[in-house]
Structure 1
Amino acid sequence: MFWQEGQLIYNGKYKIEKYLGGGGFALTYQAMHTKLNRRVVIKTPNINVQRDPDYPKYLERFKKEAQMLAMCCTDSHPHIVQVFDFFEENGRYCLEMQYIAGESLWEYVQRQGKLPETEAIKYIRQMGLALVEVHKKGVFHLDVTPPNIMLNFNSGIPNSGKAVLIDFGIAGDMSPPSTLSRSFGNKAFAPYELIHKGIRHPTVDIYCLAGSLYYAITGQRPTNSFNRKYEQEELVPPKQLVPSLSDAVNEAILQGMALEAKDRPQTMEEWLNLLSSSQLGRYFVEIESIEVLILASDVGVNYQNLQNLLKAGQWKAADEETTRVMLKVAKREKEGWLDYESIENFPCTDLRTIDQLWVKYSNGHFGFSVQKRIWLKCGGKVDYETERFLGDCVGWRFKGRWLSREDEYNYSLYALQGHLPAINDNNAILLLSRPDL
């Protein structure tokens, strides 16, 4: 350790609380921002690296990490660690980042054992959404492994775990050159082309994330890809280790961990859609555990009334209640409708809660995920032509005319599949295009 507990640094702005750990390149400390009374994490190069003749190169990489992380968290994504400041303290460069109370996915599984399928997918889906945004900004993480997935829990809210992606230390941008010349961290979760050649591509993050899901669900590390490639070792299918695992999730993991990059989904959105479709009709296998899941909310919204209405088969009242709670979640109650931004930022947990309630009590006849499956069959595009086609397929349109939700919709199980909940408001088709649905 370089700094000691209780030590004040940067003119007393930060008080070191404890050493968190580190690797060969950097060390991390938990600290208190004394002026804001805010707990933070400070990352700084290892003193041994400072003595290395190539230290200037390491320093440039550290600066680049700070810049990339700042770029990736510009929009304050809930599943990407936030960066607050970059400063110099007695010749040492320091990165101030968000402190995340909790533990890593690696530690959580080591303590809890293998996770239930729904819980594991929840965390991995959140990481996938973060990576969608990271990739859009021209960055690959390249080390999306259980130690770099932090889980934050609210002890007062059941099933409140939120995953946050940390440590962009080996992240590479998408510009040439197309390879990186350094070794990588946890090889059990990395594809061989990254380990052997340092090749950067979206499929690297897909492989790592699928490997992390493998670990979360089985409690075991997957077979090293280098051994798979050059020693002909086989990847044990996760379903062989967890017989209760759904065939679809098993297949999603195996496709994401395909040995050759060309055989994997080519974008994170594709893999998330594969993972999303794997859950259709499987939400309610274990009623007791799912009962907590379906009522979960990231913003404290109560879904008990919606559940009661759906359970009683009061479809119209449930449709109206769905609109009410969605507006409440999005803080658009005064406006009375969802705009583009509110749809894009609608919390994943709440979206899936509403969907799962509709799917359960309609026996798979209604729900957003049902509508999404139909939308994909209609072409899966976000344009008016596809919206009209979808409207025809689910009964929102008839003979080329949009029906009135108030008095022309069929609020019964005799309606076309996907007819409810009614979401054909302006921009609402964007909801179905979200990869987390």
Structure 2
Amino acid sequence: MAWVAGDQLQGGKYTIERKLKTGRFGINYIAKNKQHDFLLLKTLDVNSLTSLNQLEKERLETMFMREAVKLTLCQHEHIVKFYEPFKEAGYSCLVMEYIPGETLDKLGKISPEEALIYIQQIGAALTIVHQHHLIHGDVQPENIILRAGKSEAVLIDFDLVLDFDHELTTRRVRENVEGFASLELCTKNTKPTAASDIYSLAATFYYAITGQLPETALKRKIDNKRLIPPQELISSISNELNLAILKGMELEAKNRPESIELWLKLLNSNSHNANAESQNANAKNQNVNAEGQNTNAASHTNNGTENKPSVNWDKRMQILTLVITAIAAFGALLQGIASWNSQTTPPPNPTSTKK
């Protein structure tokens, strides 16, 4: 099955615009409704699954429609919106929100602070999914899209999000990008659980802040390959955050946090500790700056004190000069008065002689 641009579904309710990608279980399309809104159309093509017998195909199709109905109940700002399931020409379809933007894998390496925002948002979305007894099963950077122009991460491409208690919930590693799949997603006769999504989300966090794919679960288990702690690749993250990521990526599901909420609390507490450390560091810097300012002030005070004698001596010299000048002027004035008096005094009368 492959619809082409212009094909109309549900009596003209939806019109195919173009094909996006082909997965193991079907094809994704961009379509428009009668209001010309863009939508995403996910299909299930059981006829292409040659590895399944007819009974398994019927069961898978039934599960697809059942899970599609459940997904319409998972309403959350960080989950792609699911509108309605329907059947067209024998094929099962699910209409979803179309989100313009870039997927997380296109950003490359980002700061731990920015990555933590997105991981917390997707963690909140997975909480809703798990509350409805569903799993995503394919959490990875390629399936997290950032709304254009916003710092909002949205979980997309649920593919076949199947119930916990069914044997067909088992996914093979070929359906996942290596490095993001937990051990139970890579081995036969195992069922993924909420812990599987925790592993994948922790691995996504690992990739976002280091820019490197983590070692695969299979190689860690079979070949005893070492998972390089993220702190060895990016030294700026705290010890607590480093341990929280590694805890989420424990090989055995039983060793991971029991729920996505508990893992998020672990991340949040580590984030608060990191913020507290940052605040303490800032406080220390402020104290150092204050001490520096006090030292400068003291230095200015000392400089002022050292300069004062020089200023006082100059003033004293000026006053002394004025005093000396005044004394000299006064002396000259006295001499002038004395000279004037000597010139204005009449000469004495001569003594007369009797004959």
CA contact (8 A) 2:71 2:82 kept: no
Pairing 1:162–2:175 present: no
* Alignment correspondent of 1:116: 111
* Alignment correspondent of 1:396: none
Aligned to 1:151, which of 146, 149, 161?
A: 146
Summarize deviations over 1:392-416 as a string: whole Å, max 9, x none.
Answer: xxxxxxxxxxxxxxxxxxxxxxxxx
Q: 1:56 to 1:96 in 2, by over 3 A?
A: farther
State percent identity of aligned pairs: 37
What is the CA distance between 1:72 and its match in structure 2?
Answer: 3.9
Q: Match of 1:189, SS?
A: coil
* TM-score (norm: length of structure 1): 0.58
What is the CA distance between 1:171 and its match in structure 2?
Answer: 2.6
- The separation in 1 between residues aligned to 2:138 and 2:202, in whole angstroms, is 12
CA contact (8 A) 2:74 2:132 kept: no
What is the CA distance between 1:9 and its match in structure 2?
Answer: 2.9
* Alignment correspondent of 1:10: 10
Matches within 5 A, 1:14-413: 14-33=14-33, 35-46=34-45, 49=48, 54=53, 57-58=56-57, 60-74=59-73, 76-106=75-105, 108-109=106-107, 113-154=108-149, 160-175=150-165, 180-184=169-173, 185-186=175-176, 187-197=178-188, 198-283=190-275
What is the CA distance between 1:189 and its match in structure 2?
Answer: 0.9
What is the CA distance between 1:120 and its match in structure 2?
Answer: 0.8
What is the CA distance between 1:51 and its match in structure 2?
Answer: 6.6
Summarize deviations over 1:99-121 as a string: whole Å, max 9, x none.
Answer: 11112222x23xxx201111111
Q: Match of 1:279, SS?
A: helix
- The separation in 2 between residues aligned to 1:4 and 1:67, in whole angstroms, is 27
What is the CA distance between 1:180 and its match in structure 2?
Answer: 4.1
Q: 1:233 to 1:260 in 2, by over 3 A?
A: same
Q: Match of 1:93, SS?
A: strand
Q: CA RMSD in A?
A: 2.8
Summarize deviations over 1:150-206 as a string: whole Å, max 9, x none.
Answer: 22122xxxxx221222233343323366x8454242242112122113322222111
Q: Match of 2:228, SS?
A: coil
Query: Please, which runs of 5 or more residues in structure 2 have no aligned partner?
Result: 284-355
- The separation in 1 between residues aligned to 2:85 and 2:206, in whole angstroms, is 35
CA contact (8 A) 1:16 1:30 kept: yes
Q: Match of 1:121, SS?
A: helix
Q: 1:126 to 1:55 in 2, by over 3 A?
A: farther
What is the CA distance between 1:264 and its match in structure 2?
Answer: 1.5
* TM-score (norm: length of structure 2): 0.71
CA contact (8 A) 1:73 1:81 kept: no
What is the CA distance between 1:123 and its match in structure 2?
Answer: 1.0
Query: Please, which runs of 5 or more residues in structure 1 have no aligned partner?
Result: 155-159, 287-358, 364-437
Q: 1:236 to 1:50 in 2, by over 3 A?
A: closer
Which residue type is aligned with residue 11 of structure 2? N
Which residue type is aligned with residue 175 of structure 1? D
Which residue type is aligned with residue 208 of structure 1? S
CA contact (8 A) 1:72 1:133 kept: no
Q: Match of 1:139, SS?
A: coil
Summarize deviations over 1:91-142 as a string: whole Å, max 9, x none.
Answer: 2222111111112222x23xxx201111111111111111112212222222
Which residue type is aligned with residue 240 of structure 1? E
Summarize deviations over 1:221-262 as a string: whole Å, max 9, x none.
Answer: 110110000101000111111122222221111110012222
Q: 1:69 to 1:7 in 2, by over 3 A?
A: closer
Which residue type is aligned with residue 165 of structure 2? S
Summarize deviations over 1:4-63 as a string: whole Å, max 9, x none.
Answer: 223333322222112110212111001111x23221111113486167763663454344
Q: 1:169 to 1:66 in 2, by over 3 A?
A: farther
Q: Match of 1:173, SS?
A: coil
Which residue type is aligned with residue 174 of structure 1? F
Q: 1:20 to 1:63 in 2, by over 3 A?
A: farther
Which residue type is aligned with residue 246 of structure 1? S
Q: Match of 1:266, SS?
A: coil
- The separation in 1 between residues aligned to 2:246 and 2:130, in whole angstroms, is 22
CA contact (8 A) 1:210 1:257 kept: yes
Which residue type is aligned with residue 218 of structure 1? T
Higher-helix-fraction structure: 2
Max radius of gyration: which structure? 2
